[in-house]
Amino acid sequence: MTADPPSEPPGPLGPSEPPQRSIVRSSDLVTARRGGAHPPAFDEHTEYRAVLLHSLMRAQFGLTLGFIALTVGVLISLPLVVSLAPSLADKHLFGLPLALAVLGVAVYPVLVVIAIAYVRLAERTERHFLDLVEKL
């Protein structure tokens, strides 16, 4: 006599179906982070929602393009200054030629400041967007 294998108790999805996954949208994350419920009007696919999302994306895209232009301008201007002022090649700073010190060391704090400014402005744009959504 052989023993039958233990049978699974049938669940809501049946014994052989995997559990369903839930989809988490970015609006759910924002709502959870802010601790409140977003307005039901924003859940619907309305024209107003589309306009708000489009304006947020356009603002973030413009901000990104502006900071890319600033970063490229800073990075291109440093070698140009060194090449246009050959007397800088003769100067030394902490034993390194000034051009190398500026291009190899001093550029990083400038890039960090640019990155911090970008993140702060992007977060401010998102806060402004969330305030508009809450006013619905």
Q: How many domains does the chain have?
A: 1
Is 66 inside a domain boundary? yes
The pLDDT, as a whole number, for residue 61 is 96
Is 71 inside a domain boundary? yes
The pLDDT, as a whole number, for residue 79 is 79
Is 11 inside a domain boundary? no
Q: Taking the model in full, what pTM does it have?
A: 0.60
Name the residue range of residue 79's domain: 26-134
Is 64 inside a domain boundary? yes
93: CB partners within 8 A, 6+ apart: 101
Is 9 inside a domain boundary? no
Q: Exposed, middle or buried by CB within 10 Å (0-12, 13-18, 19+), for 69?
A: exposed
Is 6 inside a domain boundary? no
The pLDDT, as a whole number, for residue 90 is 82
Is 98 inside a domain boundary? yes
**Helix/strand/coil (H, E, C) string of the chain?**
CCCCCCCCCCCCCCCCCCCCCCCCCHHHHHHHHHCCCCCHHHHCCCHHHHHHHHHHHHHHHHHHHHHHHHHHHHHHHHHHHHHHCHHHHCCEECCEEHHHHHHHHHHHHHHHHHHHHHHHHHHHHHHHHHHHHHCC
Per-residue pLDDT 10s for the chain (136 aa) are: 555 555 555 555 555 666 666 665 555 545 545 555 555 555 666 787 788 889 999 999 999 999 999 999 988 888 788 778 777 778 888 888 877 777 788 889 999 999 999 999 999 999 998 888 887 7
Is 72 inside a domain boundary? yes
Report the C-alpha gap between 66 and 125 in whole angstroms.
14
**What's the start-to-end Cα distance of the chain, in Å?**
69
